[in-house]
Amino acid sequence: MSKRTVPFISGHYYHIYNKAVTDNKLFNEEKNYHFFISKIKKYLLDCVDVIAYCLMPNHYHLIIQLKNTELPSPMQKLALSYSVTFNKIYQRTGHLFQGPYQIKHISDSVYLLHLSRYVHLNPVTAKLVSRAEFWYFSSYPEYVGLRKPDFVKPMFILDQSGNENECKLEEKHADYRRFVEDWEAEYMRFNFKD
């Protein structure tokens, strides 16, 4: 088993993602999404701030900021806990995830901003919904003021998504909505391949 080469640095941002093995799904029904979110809250919130997320039927994306360097163990607990429960409910055996989670260090705030758009547009580009706000299992509703943040910390990205002057939260929500809706499919495909 190869060791990760990505350094875990407290205060830095990371993109974490993983997908289901072969053509399987990670989430078969609504309760699976809610259960996965409960596991994020249980295992990850002591070591990360969740900046953005999107749960798709066969994969997930998390944008996080590390609070400390203890991420590997909580991520393992999250994946194991979810997999064991999922396999038991659906009477299946074997691996649920394609492999260990993938992680990319984000050192550029502009990239972080565009990555948040990519993550939030996943359900639209997959043609699951016509607008990002219609996908419930993402942090996009928190970013545009449709849902009060529960565990997501959107302000770092909201603060850089539009008007640089101090403005009201409603204006930041509107700026981010415009930013997301003003995307180009070719740019997204070229720059954000996993």
Q: Whole domain around residue 165: which residue ranges? A: 13-191
| Spatial separation of the C-alpha atoms in residues 149 and 138, rounded to whole Å | 11
In order along its 194 residues, the chain shows pLDDT tens digits of 456 678 899 999 999 999 999 889 999 999 999 999 999 999 999 999 999 999 999 999 999 999 998 899 999 999 999 999 999 999 999 999 999 999 999 999 999 999 999 999 999 999 999 999 999 999 999 999 999 999 999 998 998 876 656 678 999 999 999 999 987 655 555 455 55
- Tell me, yes or no, whether 121 lies in a domain: yes
Query: Model-level pTM?
Result: 0.91
| Spatial separation of the C-alpha atoms in residues 50 and 63, rounded to whole Å | 6
| Spatial separation of the C-alpha atoms in residues 58 and 90, rounded to whole Å | 15
How many structural domains is the chain composed of? 1
Task: Please check whether residue 125 is in contact with residue 46, taking contact to mean a CB–CB distance below 8 angstroms.
Answer: no
Q: What is the CATH number of the domain that holds 42?
A: 3.30.70.1290
Task: Strand 59-66: give its sheet, edge to edge.
Answer: 48-55, 59-66, 13-19, 102-106
Task: Please check whether residue 138 is in contact with residue 119, taking contact to mean a CB–CB distance below 8 angstroms.
Answer: yes
- Tell me, yes or no, whether 60 lies in a domain: yes
Task: Please check whether residue 119 is in contact with residue 142, taking contact to mean a CB–CB distance below 8 angstroms.
Answer: no
Of the candidates 15, 11, 85, 18, the residue with the CA atom closest to the CA atom of residue 47: 11
